[in-house]
Every structure is written in structure tokens, then in C-alpha cells.
């Protein structure tokens, strides 16, 4: 059975200091289960990643984890994923995650989350895919990043249309709903094999 909404989520491999971040990660996982969705993520069992995937499985979502073999121990690969793909390297991981998703969402996280979010954003502006991208600005976590990005627009290094490629919200359920709706109307043109 093809799930009607497959969401690739990038988030921290650490929990962060605010318990609210883990609560929201669990809420995202549960939402996917309650809406018959599928979670695609990095396959780890630590931090927000583990909390989200556990909640998704408990709520009945399919969970697709994709992890490079070098990180299986470091990130505690989540062995009870519906599908766990142990791949050769980080590049293969990111491409498979992108191919298996209808939309992307970044939650609070660190350097890995930032890198993955920026990568799918740049792929979108280059036309490698046409899938919606969300940024969950939980408790203003990304306020300073967003302010910097807008300052880059003012400085002439970015365009407003590039900013408009991302959907930013502070509230998980409305952003999830928005991404699901946008993904069903997206043309879904993908050239991800070219990355
Ligand atoms: P972090 O947000 O730093 O806690 O990392 C979240 C996830 O991003 C982890 O599963 C990392 O393996 C992954 N990740 C992806 N690309 C990178 C990268 N270039 N550097 C570090 N972590 C990365």
C-alpha cells in the first residue's frame, strides 16, 4: 500500500535543553500515525530523532530509517523501523531520504539538521525536486537564522522568491497540514538522480 503522505523530517540527534522540543518531535510522529502517513528520517534512536520515530511507530505510522553503516553504532540505529536501510555513505542516505519523501520538514536541531535543510532547499531552487519544505520555528528557535537570511536578501545575496520556497510556522499541526496539502498539489518533478 502506498502511503498517501510521506514526510522526510530532519531534527536533532540530541534532545535540546527544553522538554518542549521533544514533546513537539513526538507530536510530529503521532500526527503521521494518526493521518496514515509515513516518516522518512535518518534512522537514529537518539535525541529528537529517536523520540519522533518511537512516537510515530506507536501511533501506527510507517517509519523508514536511512543510515550510513559508519553511523549505525554512533547514532544507535533504530532497529525496529518498518524499513531500516543501511547505506554506503551520507550522500546515498540523503538522496534516498529525498526520493522517498513527498515533503520535507526541519525541526529544531544542530549542524546536521541545518545542513540537510539547506541542501533540500538548494536542490529545490535548482529544480532537482518540486516538493514543499517546512521549517518548524518552535519557540522561536530559528528566529535568528531567519533574521540572518532576510538580511542576506537585503544585502543582495538572496532573493525573496528563494525565501518563499520555505514554509515557516511555529505550530506543528498547521505546518504538517500545510505540507500535506502542498505536496498533493505539487507537480512532483524530481531530478534527484542528477544530484
Ligand atoms: P544534528 O542536527 O547535528 O544533531 O544531526 C542530525 C542528523 O543529521 C544526524 O543524523 C546526522 O548524521 C545528520 N547529518 C547529515 N548531514 C550531516 C553533516 N554534514 N554533518 C553532521 N551531521 C549530519
pLDDT of residue 186: 66
Q: Please check whether residue 170 lies inside any domain of the structure.
A: yes
Terminal C-alpha separation, the chain? 28
* 75 Cα: distance to centroid of ligand 1 (angstroms): 10
The whole-number average pLDDT for the span 27-35 is: 98
* 30 Cα: distance to centroid of ligand 1 (angstroms): 23
Domain coverage including residue 77: 6-182
* 113 Cα: distance to centroid of ligand 1 (angstroms): 6
Closest C-alpha to ligand 1, atom 12: 112
Mutate to test the pocket of ligand 1, among 68, 112, 136, 195 (most ligand atoms within 8 A of CB): 112
Q: What is the DSSP string of the chain?
A: ---S-EEEEE--SS--S-HHHHHHHHHHHHHHHHTT-EEEE--B-SHHHHHHHHHHHHTT-EEEEEEEGGGTTTTTB-TTSSEEEEESSHHHHHHHHHHT-SEEEE-S--HHHHHHHHHHHHHHHHTS----EEEE-GGGTTHHHHHHHHHHHHTTSS-HHHHTTEEEES-HHHHHHHHHHHHHHS-----GGG-
What residues contact 27, with CB distance under 8 A and at least 6 apart?
55, 172, 173
**Residue 12 corresponds to which cell in the numbers above?**
536533532
Closest C-alpha to ligand 1, atom 13: 112
Closest C-alpha to ligand 1, atom 7: 112
Residue 78, classified by CB atoms within 10 Å of its CB into exposed (0-12), middle (13-18) or buried (19+), is: buried
What average pLDDT is seen over the chain? Answer: 95
Q: Model confidence at 188, in pLDDT bands (50, 70, 90)? A: low
With 70 as the cut, is the pLDDT of residue 118 above it?
yes
Q: Please check whether residue 187 lies inside any domain of the structure.
A: no
Q: Please check whether residue 56 lies inside any domain of the structure.
A: yes
With 90 as the cut, is the pLDDT of residue 94 above it?
yes
The whole-number average pLDDT for the span 2-26 is: 93
What is the tens place of the pLDDT at every residue in 100-113?
A: 999 999 999 999 99
* 1 Cα: distance to centroid of ligand 1 (angstroms): 30
What residues contact 144, with CB distance under 8 A and at least 6 apart?
none
What is the tens place of the pLDDT at every residue in 153-185?
A: 999 999 999 999 999 999 999 999 999 999 987
Q: Please check whether residue 127 lies inside any domain of the structure.
A: yes
**Residue 23 corresponds to which cell in the numbers above?**
514533546
Q: Model confidence at 62, in pLDDT bands (50, 70, 90)? A: very high
Q: Please check whether residue 194 lies inside any domain of the structure.
A: no
Q: Please check whether residue 1 lies inside any domain of the structure.
A: no
Q: Please check whether residue 128 lies inside any domain of the structure.
A: yes
Mutate to test the pocket of ligand 1, among 11, 13, 85, 123 (most ligand atoms within 8 A of CB): 13
The whole-number average pLDDT for the span 3-25 is: 95
Ligand 1 atom nearest the C-alpha of 110 is 2
pLDDT of residue 26: 98
What is the tens place of the pLDDT at every residue in 122-148?
A: 999 999 999 999 999 999 999 999 999
Q: Which residues line ligand 1 (CB under 6 A)?
A: 12-14, 42, 44, 71, 75, 90, 109-113, 115-116
Number of domains making up the chain = 1
Residue 84, classified by CB atoms within 10 Å of its CB into exposed (0-12), middle (13-18) or buried (19+), is: middle
What's the predicted TM-score (pTM) here?
A: 0.95
CATH of the domain at 118: 3.40.50.450
What residues contact 141, with CB distance under 8 A and at least 6 apart?
21, 108
Q: Please check whether residue 120 lies inside any domain of the structure.
A: yes
Amino acid at each position: 500500500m502506498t502511503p498517501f503522505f510521506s514526510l522526510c523530517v530532519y531534527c536533532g540527534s540530541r534532545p535540546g535543553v527544553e522538554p518542549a522540543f521533544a514533546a513537539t518531535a513526538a507530536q510530529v510522529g503521532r500526527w503521521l500515525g494518526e493521518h496514515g502517513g509515513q516518516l522518512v528520517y535518518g534512522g537514529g534512536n537518539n535525541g529528537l530523532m529517536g523520540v519522533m520515530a518511537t512516537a510515530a511507530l506507536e501511533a501506527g505510522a510507517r517509519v523508514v530509517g536511512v543510515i550510513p553503516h559508519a553511523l549505525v553504532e554512533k547514532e544507535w540505529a533504530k532497529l525496529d523501523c518498518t524499513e531500516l536501510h543501511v547505506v554506503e555513505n551520507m550522500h546515498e542516505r540523503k538522496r534516498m531520504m529525498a526520493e522517498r519523501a513527498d515533503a520535507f520538514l526541519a525541526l529544531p536541531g544542530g549542524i546536521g539538521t541545518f545542513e540537510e535543510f539547506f541542501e533540500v532547499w538548494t536542490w529545490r531552487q535548482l529544480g532537482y525536486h518540486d516538493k514543499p519544505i517546512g521549517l518548524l520555528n518552535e519557540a522561536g528557535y530559528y528566529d535568528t537564522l531567519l533574521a540572518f537570511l532576510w538580511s542576506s536578501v537585503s544585502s543582495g545575496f538572496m532573493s525573496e522568491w528563494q525565501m518563499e520556497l520555505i514554509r515557516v510556522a511555529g505550530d506543528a499541526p498547521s505546518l504538517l497540514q500545510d505540507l500535506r496539502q502542498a505536496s498533493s498539489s505539487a507537480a512532483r518533478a524530481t531530478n534527484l538522480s542528477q544530484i
